[in-house]
Amino acid sequence: MIPPIANRFVAGESIAEALEVAAAQNQTGLSVILNQLGEHYDDPAAAASDRDDYIRMIRDIDAMELDACISVKPTQLGLDLGEDVFRGHLDAILDVAADHDTFVWIDMEDHKTTDATIEAYEETVQAHDGQVGVCLQANLRRTSDDLERLAPLPGKLRLVKGAYKEPKAISYRKRSRVDQAYRDLIKQAFEQCDGGIAMGTHDDAMLELAAKLHEEHGTPYEVQMLMGVREELQRELAENVEMYQYIPFGDKWLSYFYRRLMERKENLLFGLRAVIGR
């Protein structure tokens, strides 16, 4: 059971709990992205189990008529066991998603998975009429080239700053340099993308830039933010732009919750207040 201190950021341990939170957020005007926590499986049974959970969730989303999509991690679907394992599980999920008109995001993980993730996206987005998206990380030096490569495809590209500490030779380390790379990618995406753009950020300056570029280019875009982070702003944005809340759930919640607390000072203060009862 997830303690009250963590349920600001994690929507329970079960699919049923996550769907209940999703329905509640839909009522406030937010679309949602559901992600079952899990990564780097070395057990084939674990990867197959999460595949089956996502398939069940897609059917439940349709049956409940939720405004929701899903997001999966390649190593959660068995990439560490082999690309064929990952692709087999991904294809199974995408086939069911197509039957139920559910969009599927492929998360990006550390740099060792980038090529396999991009290749999977390239092949599947064509076969599924653009109902697939992939995440690109601004802290990797290669990302501008990846964006140019993927921009003509019909799916969506999610732009984030990047959460993994990567080798210096292939990444930007300074926050100011990552911010500049992110700004450059936003501009590039609005100029080049044929499909949609997703802004995965809580940064006001980046959101303002995206709104400005949307007015200039007319390129469709959406904003994605995490559950429990700036939720008042999320509802304000939903009045003018397509707004998605990223909702994680599952029994592997502890490490995720810890990362959220340490990311922002206000998150840490929230946690401390919950502990001391103030």
115-165: per-residue pLDDT in tens? 999 999 999 999 999 999 999 999 999 999 999 999 999 999 999 999 888
| 50 vs 55: CA distance, rounded Å | 9
Whether residue 68 has pLDDT greater than 70: yes
Q: Model confidence over 246-266: pLDDT tens digits?
A: 999 988 756 655 655 555 454
Alpha carbon 222 to chain centroid, angstroms: 12
158 catalytic per annotation: yes
The per-residue pLDDT for 258 is 62
Active-site choice (8, 87, 158, 260)? 158
145 catalytic per annotation: no
Q: Is residue 269 part of a domain?
A: yes
Q: Is residue 176 part of a domain?
A: yes
Q: By CB neighbour count within 10 A (0-12 exposed, 13-18 middle, 19+ buried), where does 277 fall? A: exposed
The per-residue pLDDT for 172 is 96
Q: Is residue 8 part of a domain?
A: no
Q: Is residue 4 part of a domain?
A: no
The per-residue pLDDT for 267 is 46
Total number of domains in the chain: 1
Average pLDDT, the chain: 91
Q: Is residue 5 part of a domain?
A: no
Which structural domain, as residue segments, surrounds residue 165? 15-276
CB 37 within 8 A of CB 253: yes
Active-site choice (107, 115, 260, 264)? 107
Q: Is residue 10 part of a domain?
A: no
Please identify which residue in the block is written with the tokens 């601004």: 138
| 56 vs 46: CA distance, rounded Å | 15
Q: Is residue 6 part of a domain?
A: no
Residue 141 belongs to a domain with what CATH number? 3.20.20.220
Q: Is residue 270 part of a domain?
A: yes
**Residues 6 or more apart whose Cβ sits within 8 Å of residue 233:** 202, 225
Q: Model confidence over 7-22: pLDDT tens digits?
A: 788 898 899 999 999 9
